[in-house]
Amino acid sequence: MNLKISALEYVQQVQNGTISAEDFVSTTLDRIKSVDDKLHAFLSVNDDAVNQAKEIDKKIKSGDKVGACFGMPISIKDNMCIKNSTTTCASKMLENFVAPYDATVISKLKQQDAIFIGKANMDEFAMGLTTEFSAYGPSKNPWNTEYIPGGSSGGSAVSVSAFECIASLGSDTGGSVRNPASFCGNVGYKPTYGLISRFGLISYANSIEQIGPLTRTVKDTAFLLNLITGLDPNDNTTVDNHNEDYLGEIEAGIEGKKIGIIKEMIAEGTDPAVMSATKDAISKLESLGATCEEVSLDMVKYSVAAYYTITATEAGSNLARYDNLRYGYDFPVEGYEFNSYIEKARKKFGPEVTRRMILGGFVPSAGQAGKYFLKALKVKSKLTKEIDEAFKKFDLLIAPTVPILPFKIGEKIDDPVSLFLVDINTVTANLTGKPAISVPYAVSNGLPIGIQLLANSMNDKMLLQAAYALEQTVKLPEVPL
Ligand code: GLN
């Protein structure tokens, strides 16, 4: 059984009877058993998956209507609720939390007969970019297990790269889908803000985050977007995309498109291998009929500071509910007064979440808000104005997804500020609500490099067409696992 197939190939092969959902799913589970001790992509695995696959095979045999996923095994970042399954956010705080309902993306995929093969490891509450802040231990990069896979959706990226599933859903607040996709050689997508419902996604910074797919191919991302986008009465930030078909015209090409090269994102400090991959991608796009020209987004230099100020503020408010009274782990109140009780409850948070909560209490507080939070909001609106201006001239923007290559596990864990800087190229899409994609483009020293394309809001379809065109120009080596 070949597990190295795309989502679209899987659908085709199940439909024409070359493979059965049961065989594919049970081989996938065997694969997880044999490699996941080394990689730690999963926090939990669905032990009912084979039964679910059998049910789907039965439906196929008897000619009943089958959903578009035909039993495809998909991993889900462990911050999305699947009814009756644990959803830990990779935190000790939610160690025993069993979700009482399905996230909208989950119910949509259930209707399409997807199988949720397991919950993927992540940085605790999605705060981080290496997966080292998981309370259950880091995931490892399948290209070289001494290296970080990126994060916070690291488990998602690893599971796709290591053929432990066909595709995954992650969440991207400041790069958490695109960064691990880039580091593990997947396609990673952050849609226009509001395109995918966040109902049932445990919030980190709701004003900027989105759920997004991680897949082997750009077409697979378009396929999944067709199934999970659209208005949701349970999330009033969702936008109506009028059932846009992202896959249908994906081969349209990029002839005549104008592409802006974001100057501030290929600045000093960019790794030479990342720099040369970016230049190469630009010349490939030109040879496909696009014109590329440098553009400056001056506010990018303040974007990381603004991002961490805004996200800490929202996280401080969102995570206040974990006080052991509304949510959290359980211990009796006897022997505590109010503050010491809450203090003990919060001890279940790991170091990064604790840092963000302290910061999130401080930056919007009376006397500080003007200096920090309100200033950060100004940067956000100025950056949005700048990028909107750029999109009057350009159809698309390009930059490396991450300026550096993956680094060794443990290398930067004691230096959170230098870690923050790794987000420099990804946070702009979140702060401005624009869609962005990371396309696997090169391998240097055995580690992947992704190229990022951005488009204007609701131009997701054109963005995928461009990403598809770029993807056709490369063939990466196989994961050496
Ligand atoms: N590294 C960023 C952070 O720690 C991004 C995380 C994300 O996108 N969830 O906040």
Mean pLDDT of the chain: 97
Catalytic residue among 85, 91, 139, 152: 152
| CA dist list (Å): 392 to 191, 254, 301, 395, 462 | 20, 17, 22, 8, 15
Distance CA 161, CA 453 (A): 21
365: pLDDT confidence band, cut at 50, 70 and 90?
very high
Strands 447-455 and 396-400: antiparallel
Of residues 139 and 420, the one with the higher pLDDT is 139
168 is catalytic: no
Residue 152 C-alpha to ligand 1 middle, in angstroms? Answer: 6
Of 77, 79, 121, 127, the one to substitute when testing ligand 1's pocket (max ligand atoms within 8 A of C-beta) is: 127
pLDDT score, position 71: 98
Q: Is the domain defined by 7-254+459-471 classed in CATH 3.40.50.300?
A: no
CA 241, 299, 395: angle at the middle one, nearest 5? 40
Q: Which residues of 203-212 are buried (b: 16+ CB within 10 A; e: fewer)?
A: bbbbbbbbbb
| Ligand 1 closest atom vs CA 430 | 8
Backbone torsions φ then ψ of 232, nearest 5 degrees: -140, 120
Domain ranges of the chain: 7-254+459-471
Predicted confidence band at 327 (pLDDT cuts at 50, 70, 90)? confident
How confident is residue 343, by pLDDT bands cut at 50, 70 and 90? Answer: very high
User: Smallest Cα–Cα separation from 6: which of 30, 24, 32, 31?
Assistant: 24
pLDDT computed for residue 285 by the predictor: 98
**Closest atom of ligand 1 relative to the 172 alpha carbon:** 8
pLDDT in tens, 182-199: 999 999 999 999 999 999
Mutation test of ligand 1: which of 311, 422, 427, 430 has the most ligand atoms closer than 8 Å to its C-beta?
A: 311
Give the model's pLDDT for residue 416. 80
Atom of ligand 1 nearest to the CA of 177: 8
pLDDT-derived band of residue 211, with 50, 70 and 90 as boundaries? very high
CB-ligand 1 contact for 129 (6 Å cutoff): yes
